[in-house]
Every structure is written in structure tokens, then in C-alpha cells.
Structure 1
Amino acid sequence: MQVVPVILSGGSGTRLWPLSRARHPKQLLDVVEGASMLQATAMRLQALADLVDISLAPVVVCNEEYRFITAEQLVESGYATRDIVLEPVGRNTAPALTLAALLLLGRQDDALLLAMPADHFVADREAFAQAVLAGVPAALAGDIVTFGVRPSHPETGYGYMRVDAAIDSIPCPVAAFVEKPNAQTAERYLADGRYLWNSGIFLLRASVWRRAIGMFSPEILGACEDAVRRSTRDVDFVRVNAEAFAACPSDSIDYAVLEKLPASPDCGVGIKAVPMDAGWCDVGAWDALWGISAKDADDNVLRGDVVVEETRSTMVIASDRLVACIGVEDLVVVETTDAVLVAHKNATQAVRGIVQRLQREGRSEAEAHRKVHRPWGYYDAIDAGERFQVKRIVVKPGGTLSLQMHHHRAEHWIVVRGTARVTRGEECFLLTENQSTYIPVGVSHRLENPGKLPLEIIEVQSGSYLGEDDIVRLADYYGRG
């Protein structure tokens, strides 16, 4: 039986703000391995291919908002797939896994699913592959296999599982799942020896998950079945029905099913754990990222244009400007084009509260970077003021923006590099470097890059309202309404 990887890529990663934003979450960032965490998760599959029959085209479940960059990153990493399942709204991991299982069962494929969050770090891919191999027999027999990590320190940011059998028997029955502990309880778990960190990685048959979610969370199963039954396919994207999925309860795999299994021995679904020593880390906050990153002689992690003096045990990430630190210790300093975070390393779990405050206040810094990725390229909002906004727009070779119009703003385009094909009303013409054009309010227009090099333009918007929701798309190659 083939193993089908299911990459769960719907998280927002608020504790890694300001690098991670709601529309560009942490799994899409290159923060550890020279690739994004999504790409690193996919590349982990190659070590498995030498041991088990595994598909190298994973099922990926992600939010519709960042579908194009998800697909692009998978292509870049060599693990392209035609099964990117789009969630119109976030509903946590249990519905996401249910969508993937139902998609495969609809093809009469009761595969083994290897469910992996896209935002975890695994240092030793070979050890990870051996752990998965050890779990295959139990998963084939109908158990849900979870991978537990032997704790190296009393961690309060992870959930735990308790195994009452010998921890070296593989796999071993899980006696209980426990919540994130306080420091004193975490110390006790570490000394006890029967507790493992819950990695959030699972191996199970698609039909077993459908049966388990139906027993313990029938509302999730019903909503997901309706959403998949009414789904449509758009090239590589599977668009589940938005109305049906919005009615789905939000719950995690742990809460919806796994925590209930040890107390339900007669339900017909067992829960087993495979201990895993693969250098696993849930990169949930800046202190965790500091812990797994290469450091200098003073235990500093320095990235970008950074200068430090008398600085120890500190992480500094500079994205856009020079950052200098003098005489500091145990800090996290993260600079982006529109926000700077300075935090004590022991307080980085509280970054989530800053993001929630920004969201309550309607601040754009919680949602998106100044540089916004689109399927045709990206734009960077360089400057803005009363009744004007300036953007740098880069269009990939062959890229085409939607045919659109605006009710409230006019636009001036200046070509900095490359060749632009411009549609303006009934006209269609080419612009080259140092040439410009004007798009009046209410006139339909389109920008294309017909060349083989990136097209770069400066766009100056002017008008009474400059929001991104003042776009009426008349035609779009990427299926955006």
C-alpha cells in the first residue's frame, strides 16, 4: 500500500511576527534550512522513498489566500502536486486531514496517510524515515500511529503523551495525552521517563481516519463530506465548497479524536506511539528558532545586515536595513520593511498578544507584508499619503495581471525595466524602459509581461480611495473573482 503524504499548511504562525503574517505565514518563510519550511517538509519525503512506497506528489491543504505561492514553492522544490486542497476559511487540523482523507477515498484509494504540519523542523531526515517505517505495520493493521519525541528539557510549549509500556517497544500504546504543562509539571514529566512530546505527525489509513472522526466528531465529518462532494477542480487546486466548509466546527486532530482514543478501548481504533529521535522542533516562537539555528562564538544568531558589539545569546534578523546592537543579551530583534520586534528571548510566546492587538486595531501589519506576492509576481508598497500611493510592481516573464478597473483611483505607470504590454480600454500597446502611461478612473486595463526578463514598473495611484478592494476584475487567468 502506498503512503501518501498530507502536508497541513494552514497555520498563521503569529508568534513569528513580524516575519510571519496572516497572508504570508511562517511555513512559507525561509528561516532555517535554505528553503521555506513548506519546501523542507516536502523534501523530507526523499529519504522515505528509499524505504517505503511513497508518493512524491503530496496532498497539500492550505488556505486559499496563499494558494499561488504554495504551488510555486512546491514546483521550485521539485515536489509539485495536482492536489492542493484550498480551505476558504481556517478550521484547524482535524477538518484539514478529513478533507485529504475524503479526497483520496473518493478515488477508491484507502492509502496510508502521513500527516505532517508544514511548519516543523526535522534535522535528521534519515532518522525520521526510520521512525515512519517502524510505524507502518501498526498503521496497516488499523491503528493511528503518532510520533513522540523524547524530551530533552522541561518544555512548557508542547503537548505531551504518556506511554505506560516500555518506551523502547515500538510502537507502544498511548495511555493518555496531556496539555501543555507548567514548568513544575514539565520537570516531573522529564524525570518520569514515560512522557513524550507530541510532534503532531501521524500515520494512518484514510478509512481509519474517516471512521474515527465520524465516531468522535460527526459534525466535522458531515461538513467535510458536504464540502468535498460539492468541490470543484481548478488546474492543481481542489476548491471545496465554501458554504459547506464554513459550517464545519474548528478543532485540532488531538482534541477531535486522539485524546479520546485511550479512554475508548472498545471503539475499534487503537492509538500507538513511535518514539522519534530526529532533531524535531515545532518552530512556534523565536526562542525555538534561536535554539535550532547555527550560532557564533557568543551564541548569537545573526542574519542580514547586522553589526553587534558586546552582544550575547541574541537573535538579530535584518530584512531591509542595517541593524546594530551593543551591550545586549538574550534578546530577539527582527526588522522588516514595516515593523520591528524587540523582545526578551524568554517572552517570545507573548508575541501572539501583540498580533491580536494589531488585529483589533485594524493594523495592516498583522495581515500582510509591504511586499505582497501574487501569481504573476509581486508588488511592494513603497510610499503612501493622503490621496496617493506608490508601488513597485514586478511581473514574471509571461505573467498577466487581471483585466480590471477602479471606481475611485487613477494610475500612472512608468516602466523601469523590461517590456510591458498595456491594455487600456480599446487600446493595446507596448511600453519599454523610461516610457509611461496613464489609466483614468473607470477605464478597464491590463498589464502583461510578454518578454523573457522580469518587468518592473513604478505605479503611482491617486484618488479618493486606494484600498485593494477597489478592484473590479473583468477577466483573470488565475480564477480570481
Structure 2
Amino acid sequence: MPILLVLPADHNIKNNEAFADAVRKAIPAAKQGKLVTFGITPTRPETGYGYIKAGKPKCDSAARKVKRFVEKPDLATAERYLESKDFFWNSGMFLFRADSYIEELATFDNDMKEACEDAVKYGTNDLDFLRLDSRAFKSAPDDSIDYAVMEKSDNVVVVPMNANWSDVGSWNSLADVKEKDENGNCVQGDSLLLNTSDCVVYGEKRFIATIGVKDLTIVETADAILVAKNSESQHVKAIVESLKSNKREIATSHKLTYRPWGKYDSVDSGSRFQVKRITVKPGEVLSLQKHFHRSEHWIVVSGIAEVTRNEDVFTVSENESAYIPRGAVHRLSNPGKIPLELIEVQSGSYLGEDDIVRIEDNYGRNNVTKLAG
């Protein structure tokens, strides 16, 4: 039975050897069917992390019985935890046998287990990927591994880890692991900061200028701009939940979208028009499709495009264009050895991504779908 090492994506580990050593020490307990969590040896009285209280060490094992999980404490409590040597930061990293975890999940949250099984059972293959069934996946309870299983099971052990670990799950914590300027600012992207201190400034495309501010988090992306007090920046989730509950399109639709064949970037849109920058990987082919409500103009910036338009098949080279009338059966492919870059201008009464009828698709996607391309 395989052993699973579960690692969150937002962690920073500076001592890789110590990390690997802790994983090796945890393997025997995992093989015995234990659910192993990794506890970080505290270096300060941290109030932003959850804690794990461990039982007494055993001479024959690095794993210690978990007595209880503790929510984020106040400062006085965190100071006591630091002195006791029996409390560890909860890293959210786990090691266990697949069957052991499934058995515990069935006991404590069978709804989640069944939803996950259905998501796999009714999923679809997409090249090298298994696309989980979205309806089944959405029906699964929105709980963490900690809450669903680890905090309820009596089969959990903790292995201490001292790997110079930090959780970078917020903008403040990201700033803690990056270099700062002479005024304590953490800056990425094109910017000019005047009389500015202790700020996190992150820009992807646009120039950012600040004057006379401090203790702010400023984030610019293609989708949105965030401005928050540093002390409040960890509450971004509340904004996302509000956008979802109000059914705002920005919660689910992004400017840059990846597809099996490449990607597209929504550059501009307005009444009856939309402009996209499309990149098609070498050798890839978009679906054979048609639209009921829009026409399209394709302008090749670099590479060579092979265009199918009704019965015609022809190539379009750099600085040339092709017109796809509304209702025409069409397809775009890249027969070359370099990425195909083109600008697509859509025009029509309705430009939604659900105005696509797929006639043929190399990626096994549905005939009528909300996916583009």
C-alpha cells in the first residue's frame, strides 16, 4: 500500500536535509498504519500558528503520541508552550498509508470520502491528467485534513521537525522570508516608493507609486488590486467569499486562462467586442467548433497558424490575418516548432464562453461546454 506525503504549497523550508531526515524518521510509524503529522520545533511564542501537544518521547521511535491539537493561542499561552518543550507548531504536513487515511476518513467524515471517490470515478482523462468530476468534488465538505480526521482520530502521532520552516500563507509571512529595503519595504515589480515604510508592494504588470504610507499591503494583478493594512492582509479569504456569494464573475473568471493546447489572456472587452492574446503550443490543435453569436478575427503575431474555415484549410503567417464569420465551422492549430502567438478580436451580440459548439476535440471535452477553445 503506498505511503502518501502530503505537503501544502505555501511553505518555505530552508534546511532540506533536516526536512528529509524528519520524513525518514516518520516512515516506520506510517508503515505501521499511524497517521503522522510533523510538528515544527517553536523558536518564538508565535500566535499565528496552531499547536500540537505531544506525549512523552519514546526511546525506540521518533514519533510521539498526539495528545491534542490547539488553536492559535494568545501571547501568554504561546510563551508557556515555548517553555514546555511538549508543544510544536502545527505544520499541516502529513505522512500516512493511503488505506489508513481512507479508513479514518470513512469513520469521521464519510460524506467527504464518498464525494472524493465519486469525483475520481466520474472524472475524465485529459492527456496526462485526470479531471475530477466537478459536481462530485463541489459536494465534498470544505474541511481541512486536520479538522476532518486528525483532530478526531486517536491514531495520530507527531514527528518533530527542525528545518527552519515557515508558513507563507499570507502576504505578511511572505514578506518575512524575502529581502527588504532600508525602510522595511518588501517590493516586487516596477514601483517608486516615497516616504514609505514597512509595506508589502507586489506588482505584476502596472507601475505602482506610493507616497507617505506605512504598514500597507498593496498587490496588483491582472484580475484585481488589493490594498490592506498589514495586520488585516490575512483576511483576503473574506473578500473571495463575498465575491462568490454575490456571484461576481471575477471570483471564477481570470484574465489569464490555461488550456491543454496553451493559454489565452483577456486583454480588453466592451459592448459587442472582446480582445484576447492567444498562445498555442507547437503541435497542438484547438477544437473544431462554431459560434452562434459572434465572429472572430485572428491576427498572427509570431509563428504559423493552420486555419480550418468550413471546407477550406490554409496557413496564416506572421503579420497576416484570418476572418471567421459567425456560424462558420472552424479550427486553429500550430503546425510549427515554436509557440503560435496571435491576437483574437471577437465581435457580436453575445461573447460568453458558453457560445461554443464543439464538433471534434482532441482533449475529450464535451460537445457543448463553457470552456474556451
Q: Same fold (TM over 0.5)?
A: yes
- Residue among 317, 342, 362 paired with 1:477: 362
1:177 matched residue in structure 2: 69
1:217 matched residue in structure 2: 109
CA contact (8 A) 1:394 1:454 kept: yes
- Residue among 156, 170, 174 paired with 1:289: 174
Q: What letter is aligned with 1:208?
A: S
CA contact (8 A) 2:57 2:63 kept: no
Q: What letter is aligned with 1:295?
A: K
| 1:377-392 to 2 correspondences below 5 Å | 377-392=262-277
Pairing 1:258–2:150 present: yes
| 1:52-71 to 2 correspondences below 5 Å | none
CA contact (8 A) 2:126 2:363 kept: no
Residues 312, 244 of structure 1: alpha-carbon distance in 2 compared, 3 angstrom cutoff: closer
Note the C-alpha offset of 1:273. Answer: 0.8
- Residue among 153, 161, 164 paired with 1:279: 164
Note the C-alpha offset of 1:417. Answer: 1.8
Note the C-alpha offset of 1:235. Answer: 4.1
Note the C-alpha offset of 1:355. Answer: 2.0
5+ residue gaps, structure 1: 1-109, 263-269
Residues 183, 440 of structure 1: alpha-carbon distance in 2 compared, 3 angstrom cutoff: farther
Q: Which has the larger radius of gyration?
A: 2
Residues 239, 433 of structure 1: alpha-carbon distance in 2 compared, 3 angstrom cutoff: closer
- Residue among 333, 340, 349 paired with 1:455: 340
**CA–CA distance in structure 2, aligned partners of residues 333 and 235 of structure 1:** 38
Choose between structure 1 and 2: higher strand proportion: 2
Note the C-alpha offset of 1:243. Answer: 6.0
**1:363-417 deviations in whole A, cap 9, x for unaligned?**
3333343222222222121111111111121222222211111111111111222
| 1:281-360 to 2 correspondences below 5 Å | 281-360=166-245
Residues 366, 412 of structure 1: alpha-carbon distance in 2 compared, 3 angstrom cutoff: same
**CA–CA distance in structure 2, aligned partners of residues 435 and 295 of structure 1:** 47
Larger relative contact order, structure 1 or 2 (CA cutoff 8 Å, min sep 6)? 1
2:12 matched residue in structure 1: 121
**CA–CA distance in structure 2, aligned partners of residues 256 and 372 of structure 1:** 32
Q: What letter is aligned with 1:366?
A: A
Note the C-alpha offset of 1:241. Answer: 5.5
Choose between structure 1 and 2: higher helix proportion: 1
What secondary structure sits across from 2:235 in the alignment?
A: helix
What secondary structure sits across from 2:151 in the alignment?
A: helix
Q: What letter is aligned with 1:477?
A: N
Task: Between 114-123 and 421-430, report the one with greater CA deviation.
Answer: 114-123
Pairing 1:431–2:316 present: yes
Residues 279, 475 of structure 1: alpha-carbon distance in 2 compared, 3 angstrom cutoff: farther
Q: What letter is aligned with 1:253?
A: I
Residues 358, 249 of structure 1: alpha-carbon distance in 2 compared, 3 angstrom cutoff: closer
Number of residue pairs matched by the alignment: 365
CA contact (8 A) 1:167 1:275 kept: no
**CA–CA distance in structure 1, aligned partners of residues 140 and 260 of structure 2:** 29
Residues 239, 333 of structure 1: alpha-carbon distance in 2 compared, 3 angstrom cutoff: closer
1:61 matched residue in structure 2: none
What secondary structure sits across from 1:173 in the alignment?
A: strand
Identity of aligned residues (%): 52
What secondary structure sits across from 1:453 in the alignment?
A: coil
Q: What letter is aligned with 2:147?
A: Y
What secondary structure sits across from 2:52 in the alignment?
A: strand
Q: What letter is aligned with 2:5?
A: L
**CA–CA distance in structure 2, aligned partners of residues 297 and 390 of structure 1:** 42
Note the C-alpha offset of 1:289. Answer: 0.8
Task: Between 128-137 and 276-285, report the one with greater CA deviation.
Answer: 276-285
**CA–CA distance in structure 1, aligned partners of residues 122 and 129 of structure 2:** 14
CA contact (8 A) 2:262 2:281 kept: yes
- Residue among 130, 134, 138 paired with 2:29: 138
Task: Between 164-173 and 272-281, report the one with greater CA deviation.
Answer: 164-173
Q: What letter is aligned with 1:433?
A: E
Pairing 1:158–2:49 present: yes
**CA–CA distance in structure 1, aligned partners of residues 325 and 186 of structure 2:** 49
**1:81-121 deviations in whole A, cap 9, x for unaligned?**
xxxxxxxxxxxxxxxxxxxxxxxxxxxxx122212223322
Residues 388, 244 of structure 1: alpha-carbon distance in 2 compared, 3 angstrom cutoff: closer
CA contact (8 A) 1:417 1:455 kept: yes
Note the C-alpha offset of 1:247. Answer: 5.1
CA contact (8 A) 1:233 1:239 kept: yes
Q: Tell me how large the CA RMSD over aligned residues is.
A: 2.5
Note the C-alpha offset of 1:246. Answer: 5.4
CA contact (8 A) 1:166 1:172 kept: yes
Pairing 1:363–2:254 present: no
Note the C-alpha offset of 1:223. Answer: 4.5
**CA–CA distance in structure 2, aligned partners of residues 157 and 135 of structure 1:** 26
